[in-house]
Amino acid sequence: MPNTTTQGLTCLQRRDLERFAARIGGFGVNLAVLDADGQIVLRHDAGRFASDAQAVVDVGHAVCQAVRERTEGSGEGRVWQFCDGHVLLATALCLPCNSPGCVRLAGVMVVDLGENASWADGQAPDSAYISELIQLAVQKFQDATRSDEQMEKMGMELAQVYEELVLLHKINTNMKVTESDGTFLQLACDSLTDIVPVEGIAIVLERTLEGEKRFMVAAGSGLIDLPPHMTALLHSRLTEELHRAQEALLDSEVDSPFRYDWPASVRNIIAVPLCTKGAQSSHVAGRVQNTVAIMGYMVAVNRIDKPDFDSTDMKLFASVASGCAVFIENGRLFNDLKELFVGSLRALTNSIDAKDQYTRGHSERVAIISQWLAERVAERESLNHEQIHRIYLAGLLHDIGKIGVDESVLRKNGRLTEEERERIQRHPSIGAGILRGIKQMRDIVPGVLHHHERVDGKGYPEGLIGDEISLTAKIVGLSDSFDAMTSKRVYRDAMTVDQALDEIRKGLGTQFDVKVGTVFLESDIYHLWDLIQGNNPSVYGGAHFADYGTTAVGTLLR
């Protein structure tokens, strides 16, 4: 039976050599395999005679030395014959090598034919025939090894492709227009470095600061130094490469000197563009073709596990960069859609307010007051940002039903008839009916429909009592009343802020909800007053309120 160890041989290689040893043992000869260091790692004795272990080791050393020194005729396939009492046949176990002139010596196979006297008929097996069998065995060994290595390489490539597909899938599934640019781009950088080991990676986008366009790092991972002058220089060099019909900027000293001057820390570098179609966008930094422009780029430095970035890396980086560009462009289109939508809503509410010169700006002010009050309520109760956004929109659209009320009734200077009063009291139902037809608006319908309800049940249109009225309607109703009381009407002058607060205080538990009304009364009303009057908007985040409508509309378009 063969005596084996695992030194220097894979399980598959050892198995194949053991099988050959058993077969050639049928001729009554002994076989040994030595590793590249000259140690016997496999031995098979046929039992006809004993082999001299030292002689076998000496032959193995001689063959290894000849192969390493590339002695003439020591190439693959040669079978040496040694005769020192026993006839020993030896051949090098050389493995395929990718580099020209490179020899991968796995070991030496030695077959001991014994001496003629050890055979009953006085004649050892034909050495030429055994040599041919040895050559065939070595060829099979090499073919099997080559096949195993190709399978291993293919498995590694498939694993790499799988990881890349998982990465692209992860990026695509997180491509939500409601996600912020920074969060998504950071996810792309972190995910890419999980499968492509680099020292540093960054995504650079063009930004406008103080009226000046600059290239700034939007996301990054690892160690990468990109001061302002370098971000602009990288953009310029990448654009130059794209004009040369290259898909990316790849630079290193592996095959030739650097094409560009880089900091001393850079051993190799890759940069791929984030492109957008439709170059008319004001965000575009550099035009590449008539219909494609660069909005930024992804850059990585110093590949860790190999000397340079290659075409496979370039394709992966380009795919990720393309996904990032699509996300950014979709985000910009989504913002444009939000601005268009909120602009349309404001135009609609302004047209309603314009029907009565005394209520001009009323809807916008009620929206701001509603948001203010909702944020104060959220400090005491569970109320998330999306709910606050919807309360703002309910305040903005609370009077949309007045579009169905005649202007003569809205502007009447004097006491309303019962019929006219009924016509005005239908406006919450009209507004709710309009909004029900818009799927995204259905959550704010209760706030519009019930903003004239009272907690004592004396409101309209449904006469709801207490908690039958939604929190949104309670907040919008109080906000509507406060703005109405502090605004000049055709039939009366505006109240002062203190007078309006006194009226709200008197109405707690009857017209207004106690909890909501108390929160409003305890808030800093004069800061709110400055906001809705447009006096010193910076007192409480004026810029925040200016953009709030667009943010709020985003919750409806998810």
- Nearest-angstrom CA–CA distance, 260 and 278: 31
Positions of CATH 1.10.3210.10 in the chain? 354-556
CA angle 491, 494, 495 (to 5 degrees): 125
Torsion of CA 226, 229, 235, 236, to 10 degrees: -150
CB under 8 Å to 109, separation ≥6 — which residues? 17, 31, 32, 33, 90, 91, 93, 134, 137, 138
Say if CB 175 and CB 169 are below 8 A apart: no
pLDDT digits (tens, 9 = 90+) for 403-441: 888 877 877 777 888 888 888 899 999 989 888 877 778
- Nearest-angstrom CA–CA distance, 216 and 232: 9
- Nearest-angstrom CA–CA distance, 282 and 279: 8
Provide the CATH number for the domain formed by 174-331 in this structure. Answer: 3.30.450.40
202: enclosing H helix or E strand = strand 198-209
Looking at the DSSP bridge assignments, the partners of residue 4 are: 42
CA-based max dimension of the chain: 140
Assigned CATH class of 354-556: mainly alpha
461: cis peptide before it, omega within 30°?
yes
How big is the chain, counted in residues?
558
Along the 558 residues of the chain, how does pLDDT read in single tens digits? 333 233 456 777 888 888 899 999 888 899 999 988 888 888 999 888 889 999 999 998 988 888 877 755 455 678 989 987 788 999 988 876 665 556 678 889 999 988 865 565 556 678 888 899 988 888 888 888 777 777 777 766 666 666 656 666 666 666 565 567 778 888 888 888 888 889 999 999 988 777 788 888 889 988 888 888 889 899 999 999 988 888 899 999 888 899 999 998 899 999 999 987 654 333 444 444 444 578 899 999 999 988 889 888 888 888 888 888 888 888 787 777 777 777 777 777 777 767 665 567 888 899 999 999 999 999 988 888 889 989 998 998 898 888 888 877 877 777 888 888 888 899 999 989 888 877 778 888 999 999 999 999 999 999 999 999 999 999 999 999 999 999 877 667 889 999 999 999 999 999 999 999 999 999 999 889 988 877 544 333 433 444 556 566 556 555
Going from the C-alpha of 75 to that of each of 57, 88, 432, the distances in angstroms are 20, 18, 91
Positions of CATH 3.30.450.30 in the chain? 3-148
Q: Say how many C-beta atoms besides its own lie within 10 A of residue 231's C-beta.
A: 21
- Nearest-angstrom CA–CA distance, 472 and 389: 11
Task: Please give the distance of CA 79 from its chain centroid, rounded to a whole number.
Answer: 58
Positions of CATH 3.30.450.40 in the chain? 174-331
Provide the CATH number for the domain formed by 3-148 in this structure. Answer: 3.30.450.30
